[in-house]
Structure 1
Amino acid sequence: MAPWTAVDIPDQTGRTAVITGANTGLGYETARALVAKGARVVLAVRNLDKGKAAADLIGRRYPGADVTVQELDLTSLESVRAAADQLRAGHDQIDLLINNAGVMMTPKQTTKDGFELQFGTNHLGHFALTGLLLDRLLAAPGSRVVTVSSNGHRFGGIRFDDLQSERSYSRIGAYGQSKLANLLFTYELQSRLAATDTIAVAAHPGASSSELGRYAPGAVQRIAPLLEQSAEMGALPTLRAAADPTVRGGQYYGPSGLLQLRGYPKLVSSNAKSHDVAVQKRLWAVSEALTGVVFPLG
């Protein structure tokens, strides 16, 4: 069977995609590929100047492209709410929400709301954004929420007794927790969406060239170039999760090569921790309490 590539993305004319962190790297390549297939794309970014530059670049490559920029700082729930309000005002329906933005292995920091930076950005910010936009997704036939996780989910656990790493902090452990949370969120969201026409899917890029690794330990940065594939290749699992008509809710896509580090996208598996239903439900309840966002689902 031939590998799945961006050529296999069906026509996206008439569909609206909101992509977080889309001004560079994996998010930019995801946006570019969807625009090439006719999608209306919103680049949801923290830095408006960089977002506008990315939109201009896409527009020059694809004349007539419908690309707009939305300010979104996932480290601030106030910004998440403001962005959601503006997106809701501009769109009656959203076909794709791609939760792509993230930080990795940062020094110990907190978000504007006092959450550990990686957990707050990678999980809580996207949890809140998804909940605030969910009615627009439910209004679009065949809509999808795609959340980008990582192989790093295998290195973490959900530390309910120290979610914000106040007692002890590990860059890798906190990153692993946030990426495991992305999967727990996807699987629990899918269970809650089961009676709807909207699905939740996860993806991961393997080892891909992007700005994400700039805070990684020196040893990781030295070995990374030997393992990495291009951002264009790294975006393919996300694109398949977003656009392949055969995708089903609750699936997880990643590279097909050794250790899922590189290669064309295929259906992959996540670890046992990510499938713990009790932890999925507990994390959901904690996330609602921390963000104040309650999803409009039974």
Structure 2
Amino acid sequence: MWNKTTTPVIGLGKNFNRLVRWARTFGASVVLLSVASIEASARVAPKPDWSTQDIPSQMGRIVLITGGTSGMGYEDALALARAGAEVIIAARNPERGAEAIARIQQSVPNAKVQFEAVDLANLSSVHGLAQRLNQRLPRLDVLINNAAIMAPPERGASADGFELQLATNYLGHFALTGLLVPLLRQSDDPRVVSLSSIAASRGTLNFADLQAEQKYDPYAAYAQSKLAILQWAFALQRRSDAEKWGIRSIAAHPGVAVTELIARGPGLNSEFGQRWAEGRDAYHSAAQGALPTLYAATAPEAVAGAYYGPTGDEEKRGPLGFAKTPAAATEVADAEQLWTVSERLTGVTYR
């Protein structure tokens, strides 16, 4: 018999809504996973030396990458273009987009790559991108939710009035993915790969002050946004299973990679930036940090509902494998509350 301290692991099916109601009623800690997620622990992990050389041909596949002008998003775009995919880079700055495309085409002369402007912190911009893609694409095979900002010292607000990190890292991606579900469902093997972070293990969802209006801690807000992504990725898989959308929702994190994230966030002169700079020789490259995402996006054996990342010391770097899932990311009642709040804030309902 279950009690409040029980943490059952339950597959999907007709029990989904009943069990969520049960969790909310009794305040239980429930880990509700799709069948694919349960199987993840029993499945063989990716081979530790998996690399871009192992990416199967992506000819005929259409991939959208947010934040693909630099860092790991750029490495995703480069590797997928090299594998033959049609790649769409979606980011804020058209000039940086043009530069990224030129660099990719220099390395891959026959690359099919294009740029679309989007500001994830502006829901009108997100709707505009989704509308353009829904009008011109026959389908979307892979959506990589990669774009992020990290720990700006002062609290910023999005065009819609949301805390800037939550808006950019999570709410913009929640809305974009929901608006593109119809395109994804046209694919034979649709995948949504969403980037979390090892910072998610330090995150909590503060529903009483989700927008950090009462108190703003830049690192707590960042951790919250990355925990939200992880909860949402798992919740999306549950819905895909229940609604038979056929979408593989997979989460990934890069460990700690050398990118522009620190410079554009807290700043290289900040205390955090200085500590990061001192230890950067121990971190891995953006190309290495992109491997968990690329595996999730392309490997035939990538598990729906799984979470991939480096498996070395504190998961900061090391061989590719199943990442450790923070306990908070498995709280279904919180995930369902987050989903409801996200629909209300963004005005986007998945169907």
Give 1:105's match in structure 2, choosing from 151, 165, 168. Answer: 151
Q: Is 1:205 the equivalent of 2:260?
A: no
Residue of structure 2 equivalent to 1:46: 92
Residue 169 of structure 1 aligns with which residue? 216
Q: Which amino acid aligns with 2:122?
A: S
> Secondary structure of 1:161's match?
helix
The whole-number CA distance in structure 2 between the counterparts of 1:264 and 1:34 is 21
Asked if 2 retains the 8 angstrom alpha-carbon contact of 1:80 and 1:125, the reply is yes
Query: 1:138 matched to which residue of 2?
Result: 185
C-alpha displacement of 1:36 = 0.7
Q: Tell me the matched-pair count.
A: 296
Cα distance in 1 between the residues matched to 2:86 and 2:50: 22
With the length of structure 2 as denominator, give the TM-score of the two structures.
0.83
Cα distance change on mapping 1:79 and 1:262 into 2, 3 Å: same
Contact 1:151-1:204 at 8 Å conserved across structures = yes
Higher Rg of the two aligned structures: 2
Quote the Cα distance in structure 2 between the aligned partners of 1:52 and 1:90. 21
Report the equivalent of 1:73.
119
Unaligned segments of structure 1, at least 5 residues: none
- Equivalent AA in structure 2 for residue 63 of structure 1: P
Deviation at 1:33, TM superposition (A): 0.4
Partner of residue 235, structure 1: 290
Q: What percent identity do the matched residue pairs reach?
A: 42
Choose which of 207, 211, 216 in structure 1 pairs with 2:266.
216
Q: CA RMSD in A?
A: 1.1
Shift of 1:2: 5.3
Alignment of 1:1-298 (within 5 A): 3-106=49-152, 107-194=154-241, 195-214=244-263, 215-216=265-266, 218-224=270-276, 225-296=280-351
**What one-letter code is carried by the residue in structure 1 that aligns with 2:285?**
S
Listed as ranges, the gaps of 5+ residues in structure 2 are 1-46
CA distances 1:249-277 after superposition (whole Å, capped 9, x unpaired): 11001112111101232111211100001
Cα pair 2:253 2:293 within 8 Å, conserved:
yes
| Paired amino acid for 2:246 | D
Q: Which amino acid is the alignment partner of residue 274 of structure 2?
A: R
Conserved 8 A contact 1:13-1:38: yes
Structure 1 runs (4+) deviating above 4 angstroms are: none
Residue 216 of structure 1 deviates from its aligned partner by 2.9
- Match of 2:255, SS state, is coil
Inter-partner Cα distance in structure 2 for 1:253 and 1:64: 30
> Which residue does the alignment assign to 2:26?
none
Q: Name the amino acid aligned to 1:205.
A: P
Question: SS at the partner of 1:181?
Answer: helix
